[in-house]
Chain A
Amino acid sequence: MVLIQARNITYKYPINDGQSALKNVNFTIEEGGFYAIIGKSAAGKTTLCNVIRGFIPHFHRGDLQGELIVEGKDIREWEMDELAKKIGFIFQNPFTQISGVKDTVFDEIAYGLENLGVEVSEIKARVKQIINLLGIEHLQDKNPYELSGGQKQRVAFAAVIVMDPDILVIDEPTSQLDPKGTKDIFEIIKLLKERGKTIILVEHKIELIAENADYVYVMHEGEIVHGGKMEHVFSDPKVLEYEAGLPQYALLGIEVQKRNPSFSRIPINKSQAEKELKKWMEKQEVY
């Protein structure tokens, strides 16, 4: 089922010098899919996220053209509080997501549910569950302002997924995380997908997208210049032109191919790389 449909979206920020932040953007988001948006900084990824969650046009002025349909209804017609229940948004910068009104991490994560008037016993149960899922038990009594950068980012993530929205728009959720924490967050995103959530993820960590996402959209200067099944997008060296980056495994494959063209299939993840290299090595009768 089509959940979100964008048709010819063009958007100009009020402050900018006539440049459009989004140009003629079209895409489709199916229910239950895991979509990654990649592209270099200032390509329009965060702006696009802000349209999907209704901040544009509801809170930011500027000129929005085209339509964005969420569950059959144009974004302009959605009430923001209804949309906020449907779409959970995790900021790129975890430092701005902390509410500033709660003294402990536990209460910070509970804050959104409190605002919805959820019953106290249910709030406690749900917050505990999320704290366990993220493995941040040791942080729950700390002040949210007295955390390290990575700890704050985990709390910001928890505070959104505890709301259990159907759609998650996640803008670089692992930018401050150590490598293990990053892997853990991807595991959790996968789990959420298994539970039927629709995931829209902006991320620079290409290798992790290549392990996990179903579809990839490549943005460049306000446009979606490439999009489709993840495998197709990443095995296309054209992606390099947009400076969105390719997985290390693909870059390795391209180098091997330069030295010996008989290495024909460019791998995009570790298991493919291992398989292709072994196959090729056997053919060369090297080992």
Chain B
Amino acid sequence: MSFIQIRDVSYTYPNGFMAVKRVSTNIEKGEKLAIVGQNGAGKTTTVKMMNGLLRPSKGDIFIDGLNTKGYTTAQISKRVGYVFQNPDDQIFHSDVYSEIAYGPKKKGLSEEEISNRVEKVAKLAGIDRYLDENPYNLPFSTRKFVTIACVLAMDVDVVILDEPTAGQDYVGMAQITKLINYLQKNNKTVITITHDMEFVVNNFERVIVMANKQIIADKNKRDVFWDFNVIEQSSIKQPYISELANSMSFESKILTIDEFVNYLFNSKKKV
């Protein structure tokens, strides 16, 4: 049985708007995957249901065999951590240390355990030098790392990152890659929503594509990024390098610079 099972789930907001319609998928323990797709497709709504922030209007979600219906949001969030798309929805304390310590404190850890854990996850998130700062004095992209650290501090089984790449530079991207690898090594499940196609290529194999309230594709990245129907329907794009390979009529479904260069030089040898 899969670790996360989403069975025919729909969600209608209190104002009557249906944002997610009959979505089903399974996700394994220790798996990592990306969710991509057009603005307003229902990505955030879907993942918020996985950690109990929103409850399915129809259908069921099972985590580790347990139907989330029978549990409070506080209980679910001990297993499934969600990093908000907007960090300011998540930040409540006036210094970074207390912000990160909040979760472990509620778990009832000792002062020493808490401080060890805060130090460790702050380092992982690359924000250890900001522990005394007020989060609101930090740039948006750094605040995002504060909220990531908060979820890491909870030591959950499933980590959901809602657009961690938004507004990140080169260095921030590398930090996120490092984090995802670390989580995977520790057998955590990592679900990442992103609009950055290069980031998807560099970090994931499995890609779920959402458009208009539904999952329209759930397959390997190469099959997603060379499926022009899926791309068109979901307002995503091919990676830049694939676009170039496509318009130069290369006979290979290229995704990366390395693949492009290899193709170029190997076809040279053939002659």
The CA of A165 and the CA of B141, in the complex, are separated in Å by 28
For residues 237 through 260 of chain B, which have their beta carbon under 8 Å from a beta carbon of chain A?
Answer: 237, 239-241, 243-244, 247-248, 257-258, 260
Interface secondary structure of B, over-half rule:
helix
- A273 contacts the other chain (CB 8 A): yes
B244 A286 Cβ-Cβ under 8 A:
no
The CA of A92 and the CA of B140, in the complex, are separated in Å by 8
B17 A252 Cβ-Cβ under 8 A:
no
Contact A176:B39 (CB < 8 A) given known A149-B85, A270-B243, A274-B244 = yes
Q: Assign chain A's interface to a size class.
A: 35 or more
Chain A residues near B141 (CB-CB < 8 A): 41
A95 B88 Cβ-Cβ under 8 A:
yes
Interface string of B185-223 (1 = CB under 8 A from A): 000000000010110000000000000000000000000
Count residues of chain B with CB under 8 A from any CB of chain A.
Answer: 48
Closest chain-B Cβ to A269's Cβ sits at a distance in Å of 10
A256's partner among B163, B240, B264 (CB-CB below 8 A) is B264
Contact A286:B267 (CB < 8 A) given known A146-B13, A277-B248 = yes
Chain A residues near B244 (CB-CB < 8 A): 249, 252, 270, 273-274
A40 B236 Cβ-Cβ under 8 A:
no
B170 A15 Cβ-Cβ under 8 A:
no
Residue of B nearest to A206 (CB): B170
- B65 contacts the other chain (CB 8 A): no
Contact A286:B268 (CB < 8 A) given known A148-B40, A248-B198 = yes
A207 B240 Cβ-Cβ under 8 A:
yes
- B15 contacts the other chain (CB 8 A): yes
Contact A179:B237 (CB < 8 A) given known A40-B171, A204-B167, A284-B268 = yes
The CA of A178 and the CA of B143, in the complex, are separated in Å by 22
The CA of A112 and the CA of B21, in the complex, are separated in Å by 36
Other A-B pairs beyond A150-B40, A252-B241, A252-B257, 16, CB < 8 Å: A42-B139, A42-B142, A92-B167, A150-B38, A151-B40, A176-B195, A177-B39, A179-B195, A204-B167, A244-B169, A244-B170, A255-B258, A256-B264, A277-B264, A281-B264, A287-B271
For the complex of A and B, 7 pairs with smallest distance between CB atoms = A150-B39, A180-B235, A179-B237, A248-B240, A175-B167, A40-B169, A175-B166
